[in-house]
Structures are given as structure tokens and as C-alpha cells.
Amino acid sequence: MEPVLIYDTTLRDGTQGENVNFSAEEKIKIAKQLDDIGIHYIEGGWPGSNPKDKQFFDLAKQNVFNNARLTAFGSTRRPGISAAADSNLKALVESGTSAVTIFGKSWGLHVKQVMGNTLKENIAMIRDSVAFLKENDREVIYDAEHFFDGYKENSEYAMQTLMAAVDGGAGSIVLCDTNGGSLPFEIESIIKKVQLTLEDKYRQDKGLKPVNVGIHAHNDCGLAVANSIAAVQAGAVMVHGTINGYGERCGNADLTSIIPILCLKMDCPSISGENLSKVKKVSRFVSETANMIPLNNRPFVGKSAFAHKGGIHVSAIMKIPRAYEHINPELVGNKRRVLVSDLSGKSNVKFKARELGVELDGSGYDSSRIVSEVKRLEQQGYQFDVADGSFKILMEKFTEQFKPLFELKSFRVHIEKDKDRLCSSHATIKISVDGLEKITVAEGNGPVSALDNALRKALDKFYPGSLDSTHLVDFKVRVIDGRDGTGSKVRVLIESRDYNDIWSTIGVSEDIIEASWQALADSFQYKLSKMSMP
Amino acid sequence: MEPVLIYDTTLRDGTQGENVNFSAEEKIKIAKQLDDIGIHYIEGGWPGSNPKDKQFFDLAKQNVFNNARLTAFGSTRRPGISAAADSNLKALVESGTSAVTIFGKSWGLHVKQVMGNTLKENIAMIRDSVAFLKENDREVIYDAEHFFDGYKENSEYAMQTLMAAVDGGAGSIVLCDTNGGSLPFEIESIIKKVQLTLEDKYRQDKGLKPVNVGIHAHNDCGLAVANSIAAVQAGAVMVHGTINGYGERCGNADLTSIIPILCLKMDCPSISGENLSKVKKVSRFVSETANMIPLNNRPFVGKSAFAHKGGIHVSAIMKIPRAYEHINPELVGNKRRVLVSDLSGKSNVKFKARELGVELDGSGYDSSRIVSEVKRLEQQGYQFDVADGSFKILMEKFTEQFKPLFELKSFRVHIEKDKDRLCSSHATIKISVDGLEKITVAEGNGPVSALDNALRKALDKFYPGSLDSTHLVDFKVRVIDGRDGTGSKVRVLIESRDYNDIWSTIGVSEDIIEASWQALADSFQYKLSKMSMP
């Protein structure tokens, strides 16, 4: 089979999901990761709908994408005006992407009852809008919204809307199951009919370049992945979806399932094998950026996707992995989890140490002890793949290379709130450096801020000016297992930066202040040790 | 189409899922609920594998099931002994269920390399074991483990194992995609071939009663629902699955999707329409009993399954629900939700008010003032699309319908940490209800937990027992704009639940304790006002 084009809409349709929000800067970071694994199209947003998306496209102009084409999303022109007069279409052109995606209506119900439009004007809107974008030298991807619902109600009209997009010069026509209510066998049979109609059209118009047929599925029946691959079976060559299936209601088609299925099970190597092994990393990057709890049982990329509970399965797996594993987990960057020591951990630790500049071959190094200690901490909720600042300190401690640049003696934080007044917090802290003690007090916006300020003040006595350029970039708190309410264990992740560097540190505790303290102390320790290096 | 038999294995295969555990009493409660909605078979457990499952079957004998047949699960006899001598098969008979399910091997890899058995003895084990259970007057359901993997490797042998079960007297043969790696078109084509072989057999043996063909799918490719319905398309008349798709690795086929699809979209009314409207309730009952966080975007039954965010979508569904809804949510006992966000306008606010039971038409209502106030707050960092508890309170305040059920006078939180010891927190709080004051003190894991505990203690004096069932599900903290470091504005989102309901509340402040307090106070206010409603 031919490679299938992967079209990611995490940054646009994905953000329609409950709780999924990205800043323009976060969107750029995600787009870079998607580009890095060879995604063919990245839909950046809807520049006409909100200023944040416009900002994204401005930022995108300052970035280089090596593999992906960025697309801006919008709708067909408004009724009764020319395409050139439509401000939304103008915004699409101004976004500066070489490809543009617009959606139009396929379903009479929407055209007439929702929009109060006529069927005829709707057809003209589609053709004009696509043609306008083509005149502006854009590759045009046409999303046929509600195509399957429209087709089931009036196949002839639904097909006319598609042909209007083809006539306008669309390079791809994407059939959308917008409400997510269609079943795979319906998708397959309708796409086959669309292909026949297109073939007829090519026969009649010899000059017409064949268009790509795409699928855009939603997961309202739990069938978005199935509908996407059924479409590919029927001849679709472009699949729309989002990382982790984020999206409105029950989500969009999950690319973290579709890409492995296409590559490993359907002989459609959409991305390279090397990039496939980064899929889990990208999945985690997107869930971390969205601050969404990663779904443990997510196919292919979830923490439990290759986890085996004891007994018969484990002993079989040890002999013959494929006895209970449908693929080798490493192909998607995931790993088997069983209750036996996993030797591959050692090489990971070695690799990571080299990357962070920690010498593991000195005295005191015991790789199995490090691996088992890391595993124990990860079971407690630490996550070192997203906190390399803390991981570096941990490895230095294990290898007796750790030089504490300050020591905590004690702190006290006091928070007061009186009716109708805001909270106030102040912190006192006592630290020591080389046996010299220092006690300071500071206020702050909340206890962590008060602690941060007090610690900076104390450290400044010993390392004057050293922390002036250090800023906290992000501060994330996540309940690891929400079942114990406000007494649950929490993970605090702090991202800090100075002029040259960004580093992440982590703390885990049932106490949010304890966890914040751990992450904060690691962050300053990391910064100060970086400065004391030759 | 004929009705399809639904076979639930939540109580057995479901408990292989990470974190899914039930006591014998909890299993009985779940079985009663499944029976109540007309599930045809309920697999109670593996009496030979653990004492808890044995206890379940003892308890089950004291209960009446009106619709469902209870089944006990086990394996074929061990190699080299007679079926009558096998303690596992004996335990199955002793469990006292009228139907019994046993699994056997279809895949040479397992027979030879994992078990060290011969292909011939494996066939005998299947036939003998089924026959033994038939002799004991049991309806026998035969699970062909790894059938699809076995078939792909050696179709002839896989088929022989099935025919051994048919010869032994099995009433149903269930084809298992144990590793979850098969695709719908493979499932469909293999089942069609099985059907042809069975028809040949019926022609040869006129006395043979046709057996039911069933499907047992796992979700390792995100295709368990699709594989189940593909099997039904190909002629399967029994579907195995679990409530919420709980199960090992990526889970089993999710009956909360399959049942609605069969009933509403495939003309296979497996359970009655009245029972279908209880599916959401059963889903929640099982997640509550397992103490698992309910998945918001679960198809059909999730909190977000019919949630609408975009302004265009909302105004369309206000006119014509099917414009953006594939089914009427009430058919599965769910409901439409509108997410209020910066994308939205007046129509969202109106709809949301109606949904939350707030009367906007009374005095003091000014819809444009509410919309502009919501927008102002959202610009500050509030996000009401994810916090309907706080949104309800906000609208009540605007329309002068807010009845504060407690008032804060003041609180103090004190946090201490000494070198090498964990943090400790305690909170004192003073509240008043109808002019009566109460001051309490409590400890906690961190300041928010201490506040939570102190507030519960104080409220319990005024509303005894009211908050006992209220638990915090999730607690999220997000820095809105990280540029101000630990002094940045943070958004705290609290999700709380009781037996029937989940609600979210929000707080925004530069002070994490202030923000947490706002969300916490709203959550308890929401809960108490819900209880005081007529």
C-alpha cells in the first residue's frame, strides 16, 4: 500500500476538548515535535476565530519546519459576498501558510435549517472559496463537514458539494464524520462510492489532477480509529486526527493508535520506523503540555499498554513475548512492564547520565542500584523523564559526586485570611552554607512564592547576584491518585530558566508544600552547581 | 437482525485491569445491576484461581437473578488426566452456576512452546472438558483463547480446536482476540470462514444443534468495540466485554459503547430501550465501586460525551440537537452539556443556566451583563467551561438567588519543616452559619488538605453527615502565565464527586492557597445547596 498522509489537528480540533488549552508558545513547541517525527500536515489553528491562533501563525513564521506543512483553518466565505471580500478568507491568506484548510457544509439540514442558506449558494461558497485560495497559490484541503450524515440523507447533494471543491481546485477533500455517529462499514461503503464518482469525473475531465481523499473521524461511538482505518482500506490517503485523541466530546481519531496500526499492521509506513519509536514521547509531551493526566491504558503508548499482571502471562512473556504481546513495545517507544528486573534500564541510565554530563564510571557507581532506586522512586510517583534537573542531582548523589551548595535547617510558613480580604503568606527560612547559617523572612503570593523569596534572599548572602537571572517558567501540580482527596499524593513539577538554559525539577509528597520545596530546592541547587562548574 | 447476547466479564477479566479490584460483596452488587438492565450472561469469576471468587459464587446462591445467567470461568483439564479428576473442573461444577465458561488453546505456539504440550492432547483436553461439563448438565461456553492469532498461523489446527468444543457439546464458541492485535477486517473475514466450516458440519451431522458464535475482543489497538461489531456483522451472536472497558493492558471491549451501538445503530435490540437508558448509571456504579475516576470522554456515558464548546455548535444544537449530536443523549441516560468559554456568547449562558437549574428570567437578570462579566473573569484566568459548580454559584450571585450556606470569618494555616523531617501543616478556621460561629482546627497533608479537613469539621456541626459522601476526585493547579515565577497567577481546579454527581469548581489568584480556598468553598457550597433543594 501507498504511504498515507498524516494530518494533525491537535492544535485546532484538539483544543476543542474539555480542559485542553495551549498558549501560542506551547503550540509552537508541540508543532516542532510533530514536525520532528515526520507528520505531513500540522493544522495550527483558526486565525479568524481568536487572537491566540493569529499569534501562533506570527510565531510560526520565525520557525523552520523540516517535514511538515503548516495549515491554517477556516470556513468557506459568508453567503452573499465575494470570496475576496471575506475577512476570514483574508486572514487565512495572511497567516502565511503554504497550505490552507477550509470547511464547508455537505448536509442540507445545516445549510438550510442551521444557516438559513440555500443549497445553491452553499455550493457556490465552496467553489469560490477554494478557487480564491488557489488563486493565492495555496494548497487547499477541503473539509466536508458532516459528509457522512449529509450523504445518508441526500447522497446526490453531498456529492455535489465535494465536486464543487474539486472544481475550485482543492488538492484534498476530507470526508468528516463530524458527529462521530457513523460505523466502519458505512464509512467504507460511502468512501468507495465517492471514489467511483471521482473516477467518473477524471474520465470526463482528462486535465484534472486526481485529488487526495481524506478522513476526519470523531470518537463518539468509540470507533474513530476503526473508521479511520476503514477509510484507508477503502482508498483514503489522508488521515486527520489528534495526539492522544484529544478533541470535543469523546475526542478525535487518536493518531497515537492510527500511526502504529498503519505502519505495523497495514503496510502503510506513514512515518519512518525511527520516528515511530518516538510516538510515545510525543504523546507524553502533549499530555504534559496540556496538563492532562496521561491515560494509562491508552493503546500503544499508555503506561499499562504492555503491562502484565503476575502468573501465567508473565512466565509466558519471559519465554516468548508474542505469546501475550501483539507488537514489540519498543517499536512505539514503549516498554514491557513485568514484575522482574528489566536490564534495559541500565543502558537508559547510562545514556541519560552522559547527556546530563554526570560521570558514572567513577567510584561509588553501581548501575543496578541506580536502576532499582529510580524504579522505586518512579513507583512513588516521581517521573524523571520530565525532570532532568532532579535526575541529574539524583545521579550525582548515587555516585557520591553531589556537592550540596546549601542545606536547609528549617522553615516556617504562615498563611492568614480574614473575611473578604485576600490571603497573605510569609515564610522564614534558615539555611547553612559551609557551616555558616543565615535566617531570612519574606512575603509572597502564597506559601510557595514566600518560600521561594525567602530562599533567594538567604542564598543571595552566599552567592550574590547568582539567582537574579533565574525565573520560574512553569509550576504544575498534579494529583497522582485522586482517590484520597486533598490528602492525595501530589507531584510538583517546576520548570526554571536563565538566559541560556531551561531545566525541570520535581517533588513528590502527600504534602503540596513538601513537594514544592523539593522541586524548588533542586532547581536552585541545579542552577548554582551549573555556575560553579569550570 | 436478531438480538445479540451480551456476556459481561467485568467481574473476571475486568479485574485484570490495573487498580480494578472488587470484594465478593461488591461483585454481587455489580451483578445485580447488570441483571437489572437485562445483560444475558454474567461471568462471576474463576473459582479455581482464588478464594474471593469462590466466595462470590457462595453468595450468589443466596441471590435471585431475573434476567442473567451467572457463569463460572476456568480452563480445560490439565494434560494427562481425566476431566473428572481435574480439581479445577470440579470447582466449576461446585460453583453451582447453570452455565460454565472454559478456555482452551487454539494457537500452536502456546500449546507447544508455552505449555510444552502436544497438539493432539490439547484437542482431547478441549473435547473431554466440555463433555464433562455437559454430563454435569451445564450449558458450556467455550472461549477459544488466541483464536485469531492461532488461525493466522495455522487455520486448520485452530479450526480443529473449535470443532473439538462443538463435538464435546459446547452451546457457544467464543473467538478471542486475546492479545488485542487484530483488525476489524481480519476479524470479519475469519469469522465468516468459521461460519462456513460450521455449516459444513451441520450438513454432515443433521442432529447437531447449531452453536452460538461469540467474540471476545481486547483493546490493544483501540479497536475492541470495532472488532466486536465487525464480528456481529459477520454473524456472531454473542459479545463478551466489560463495563467501561476495564481489563488488562488497554482493556476489554467496552459494553457501554457496544450495547448502545447494537441497539441504536445496528437494529439489534440486545436490551430494552428502558434498560438502555440505565447504561450511564451502571457505568458510574461500576467506576464508583472500583473507585476509578470516571473517564469524561468515554463514548455515550462520559460526562463530556455530549458537551459542546464552540459558539457556532451551541447555537446550532439549541435549534436542532442532531446538528451536532449523533444520538439523543437521554437514550443512554446521559445529558447534553454546554461548556461556557470565551468562544461563547449569550446562547451558551442561557443554555447552561437552564441545565444547572438556575432561573435567569427573574429580577436582576441581565444577560449581556452576565456574558461580559464571564468574559472579564475568563480574561483573569477563570475557565468556566471546566467548572460548572462555580459557574452555577456565579449565576446565582448575578441573579440575586445565591444563598450562602456558610460564611468564612477567617482562617490561619501554619506549615513547619525542620531539616530531614517532612512538612507538617495545621489549619484553624472560623465560619458562621445563620449568625452562629464555629471555630475548628485540623491537621492535613499540606495546607489545602488541612483547610479541607478543618472546613469539613466546622460544617459538620451545622450539617451533620452531609459531606461524608463527598470526595475530591482531582486537584489541578496551573500557572496561568509563568513569567512571574512562583508569584504568577495560578488557577486551581477541583473536581468533586458524591454518589450521583461530579462537579468542578475553580479558584484563581496569585496565591495558591487563596485560589484553592475559592475552589474548595465553592465545592462545599455546591454540594450543600444541592442537598437543600426540594
Looking at the complex, report in whole angstroms how far the Cα of residue B331 sits from the nearest Cα belonging to chain A: 14
Cβ separation A221–B297 shorter than 8 A:
no
Contact A316 B110 (CB under 8 A): yes
Choosing among 3.40.50.1980, 3.20.20.10, 3.30.160.270, 2.60.40.10, the CATH entry for A407-532 is: 3.30.160.270
Chain B closest-CA separation from residue A413 CA (Å): 5
What residue segments make up the domains of chain A, in order of their start? 5-290, 307-398, 407-532
Task: Say whether B486 and A257 touch across the interface (CB within 8 A).
Answer: no
- Tell me whether residues A305 and B250 touch, CB distance under 8 A: yes
d(C-alpha A301, C-alpha B457), whole Å: 43
Q: Are A293 and A317 spatial neighbours (Cβ–Cβ below 8 Å)?
A: no
Residue B307 CA to residue B297 CA, distance in Å, equals: 9
| A223–B219 CB contact, under 8 Å | no
Q: Which residues contact A425 (CB under 8 A, 6 or more apart)?
A: A413, A414, A415, A416, A443, A444, A445, A446, A447, A449, A450, B511, B513
CA distance A140 to chain B (A): 23
State the complex-level ipTM: 0.79
pLDDT at A149: 98
Query: pLDDT tens for residues B302-326?
Result: 989 998 876 677 778 878 999 999 9
Contact A511 B425 (CB under 8 A): yes
Alpha-carbon gap, residue A406 to A409, rounded angstroms? 10
Partners of A514 on chain B (C-beta within 8 Å) are 417, 422-423, 446
Pick the residue from chain A with its C-alpha nearest to B297: A250
Predicted pLDDT of residue B310: 65
Chain centroid offset of residue A255 CA:
11
Which residue of A420, A474, A480, A512 to mutate against B (max B Cβ within 10 Å)?
A512
The reported pLDDT for the residue numbered B314 is 78
Report the alpha-carbon distance of residue A253 to residue A172 in Å, rounded: 18
B472 contacts A477? CB cut-off 8 A: no
Chain B residues in contact with A304 by the CB 8 A cut-off are 17-18, 249-250
CA distance A294 to B10: 23
For residue B514, give the chain A residue with the closest CA: A423
> From CA A231, how far away is CA A324, in angstroms rounded?
29
What gap in Å lies between CA B140 and CA B72, rounded to an integer?
10
In angstroms, the separation between the Cα of residue A27 and the nearest Cα of chain B is 15
| Residue stretches of chain A with pLDDT short of 70 | 1-2, 309-312, 314-315, 338-352, 355, 361-366, 385, 481-487, 533-534
Could you say which of A17, A444, A514 has the minimum Cβ distance to residue B486? A444
Q: What is the pTM of this model?
A: 0.79
Which triple of cell numbers denotes residue B369? 451583563
Q: How far apart, in whole angstroms, are the C-alpha atoms of residue B44 and residue B31?
A: 8
- Number of other residues whose CB lies within 10 A of the CB of residue A445: 26
Minimal CA separation from A207 to chain B, in Å: 36
Neighbouring-strand partners of residue A8: A42, A241
Residue from the list A179, A309, A322 with its beta carbon closest to the beta carbon of B326: A179
Nearest residue on chain B to A409, alpha-carbon basis: B419
CATH topology of domain B5-290: TIM Barrel (3.20.20)
For residue B48, what pLDDT is reported?
Answer: 78
Q: Inter-chain contact A509–B422, Cβ cutoff 8 Å?
A: yes
pLDDT-flagged residues of chain B (< 70): 1-2, 310-311, 340-346, 361-366, 480-488, 533-534
**Interchain CB distance below 8 Å, A444 and B221:** no
B249 contacts A449? CB cut-off 8 A: no
Looking at residue A380, its pLDDT comes to 79
The SS3 of residue A466 is: coil
DSSP 8-state symbol, B254: B
Q: What pLDDT is recorded for position A342? A: 36
Position B481 scores a pLDDT of 60
- Alpha-carbon distance of A519 to A505, in angstroms, equals 5
How far does B362 lie from chain A, in Å, by closest CA? Answer: 27
Element spanning B349, H or E: helix B346-356
Alpha-carbon span B520 to B506, nearest angstrom:
8
Please report the pLDDT score of residue B151 as a whole number: 98
Each residue of A355-394: b (16+ CB within 10 Å) or e?
Answer: eeebebeeeebebeebbebbeebeeebbbbebbbbbbbbb
- Annotate B218-250 with b (16+ C-beta within 10 A) or e (fewer): bbbbbbbbbbbbbbbbbebbbbbbbbbbbbbbb
Contacts of A31 (CB under 8 A, 6+ apart): A11, A42, A44, A60, A63, A65, A68, A70
Check CB contact under 8 Å for B324 and A183: no
Query: For A222, which of B257, B325, B511 is closest by C-beta distance?
Result: B257
Instruction: Give the nearest chain B residue to A307 (CA atoms).
Output: B249
Three-class SS of B179-203 = CCCCCHHHHHHHHHHHHHHHHHHHH
Q: Give me the pLDDT at residue A53, please.
A: 87
The pLDDT value recorded for residue A107 is 97
Q: Which three cell numbers stand for residue A275?
A: 520516528
Chain B closest-CA separation from residue A403 CA (Å): 17
